[in-house]
């Protein structure tokens, strides 16, 4: 708490835009055997694109929602989530509203579900602006500019239409435009392309990366697709069963993954290059919230597990230019 700045800043003055430190999230007793998140630490610098990768149920969605102070009902937390230096977890309702309205914006997986179907698109795009006090006329002008920036033709007409009159890809552009309306210091994108078809995915990614570059926004990109993350991210965090198991720069992560789970994820991605190995699925299934295996949570699915792995929980330690939580990371196993 020593870093608390007296006022909320739109960009960090030396602070990372996002600094999650030792975040733990636990459901009320009896609802889960293990914490949803356990000791998660993650940083995003201004203008940086950071990937958060994991299978469904790994806790990546909970982690990215915690950035906005959105936590599961009844959850208890430990650690800190600092946005531009201020801890989100200790904010009151007013501060949270200000944080969400001005500093952090989120793009969700399914644009159809994210936009109120009964209200006009214009209402959606300008809602955040009006909530933070901008007059309606100014908000509309700004919304037109935003829709134009995400490549929607006839922005003025678009604002008057209803969400069901848009395609999924177009609607996701609207969602991105709305997210960028407040010129946030940090954009959290939770699987923003998963619900879209492939060609649309590419367009959305292009828009996201361009706007991030233009506005200098930090981007936390959450996905289950390691390939996609590597294409746009500077650094990647890999999550498994509520913990960060590996983090490093994208290139090194790809060339030399140190955690068997990371390499497993890489190996099960189909490639199109000639001579590429056939994809190998990771055996077994992810750890559910009802299970709390001792030691390394991945041990049961890991080809390299030793007795020690199911007894002692590995901690993140430095290997190469990144961190890995694996007992055998230093052995240089060819994964």
Q: Catalog residues that contact another protein under the rule CB under 8 A.
A: 65, 68, 70, 93, 96-102, 105-106, 108, 110, 113-119, 127-128, 131-132, 162, 164, 178
Whichever of 173 and 248 has its CB closer to another protein, that residue is 173
Question: To 10 degrees, what angle do helices 136-149 and 121-131 make?
Answer: 120
Whichever of 65 and 248 has its CB closer to another protein, that residue is 65
Whichever of 115 and 265 has its CB closer to another protein, that residue is 115
Shortest approach of another protein to residue 259 CB, angstroms?
31
Whichever of 159 and 323 has its CB closer to another protein, that residue is 159
Q: What are the angstrom distances between the C-alpha of 183 and each of 42, 45, 99, 202, 227?
A: 22, 16, 12, 23, 28
Residue 241 neighbours by CB distance under 10 Å: 26
Of 212, 69, 183, which is closest to residue 221 (Cα–Cα)?
212
Whichever of 18 and 105 has its CB closer to another protein, that residue is 105
Whichever of 181 and 287 has its CB closer to another protein, that residue is 181
Of 179, 202, 174, which is closest to residue 190 (Cα–Cα)?
179
Q: What are the angstrom distances between the C-alpha of 146 and each of 34, 102, 165?
A: 42, 16, 19
Shortest approach of another protein to residue 116 CB, angstroms?
5
Separation between Cα atoms, residue 70 and residue 62, nearest integer Å: 8
List, in order, residues 6 or more apart from 308 with CB less than 8 Å away. Answer: 295, 327
Residue 198 neighbours by CB distance under 10 Å: 7
Shortest approach of another protein to residue 92 CB, angstroms?
13
In eight-state DSSP terms, residue 276 is P
Separation between Cα atoms, residue 100 and residue 83, nearest integer Å: 11
Shortest approach of another protein to residue 68 CB, angstroms?
5
Shortest approach of another protein to residue 63 CB, angstroms?
14
Shortest approach of another protein to residue 57 CB, angstroms?
18
């Amino acid at each position: 708490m020593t870093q608390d700045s007296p006022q909320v800043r739109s960009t960090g003055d030396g602070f990372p835009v996002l600094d999650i430190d030792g975040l733990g999230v636990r459901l009320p007793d009896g609802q889960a055997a293990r914490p949803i998140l356990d000791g998660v630490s993650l940083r995003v610098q201004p203008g940086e694109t950071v990937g958060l990768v994991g299978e469904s149920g790994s806790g990546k969605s909970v982690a990215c929602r915690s950035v906005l102070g959105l936590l599961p009902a009844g959850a208890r937390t430990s650690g800190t989530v600092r946005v531009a230096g201020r801890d989100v977890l200790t904010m009151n309702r007013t501060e949270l509203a200000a944080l969400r309205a001005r500093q952090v914006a989120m793009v969700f997986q399914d644009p159809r579900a994210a936009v109120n179907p009964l209200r006009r698109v214009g209402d959606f795009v300008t809602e955040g602006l009006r909530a933070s006090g901008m007059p309606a006329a100014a908000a509309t002008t700004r919304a037109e500019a935003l829709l134009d920036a995400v490549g929607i033709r006839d922005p003025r007409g678009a604002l008057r239409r209803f969400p069901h009159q848009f395609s999924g890809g177009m609607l996701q552009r609207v969602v991105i435009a709305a997210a960028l309306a407040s010129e946030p210091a940090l954009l959290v994108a939770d699987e923003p392309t998963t619900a879209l078809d492939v060609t649309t995915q590419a367009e959305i990614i292009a828009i996201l990366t361009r706007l991030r570059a233009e506005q200098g926004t930090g981007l936390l990109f959450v996905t289950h697709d390691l390939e996609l993350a590597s294409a746009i991210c500077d650094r990647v965090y890999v999550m498994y069963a509520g913990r960060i198991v590996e983090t490093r720069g994208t290139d090194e992560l790809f060339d030399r993954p140190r955690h068997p789970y990371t390499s497993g994820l890489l190996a099960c991605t189909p490639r199109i290059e000639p001579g590429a190995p056939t994809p190998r699925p990771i055996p077994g299934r992810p750890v559910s919230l009802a299970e709390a295996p001792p030691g390394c949570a991945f041990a049961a699915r890991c080809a390299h597990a030793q007795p020690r792995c199911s007894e002692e929980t590995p901690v993140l330690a430095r290997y190469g230019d990144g961190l890995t939580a694996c007992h055998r990371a230093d052995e240089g196993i060819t994964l």
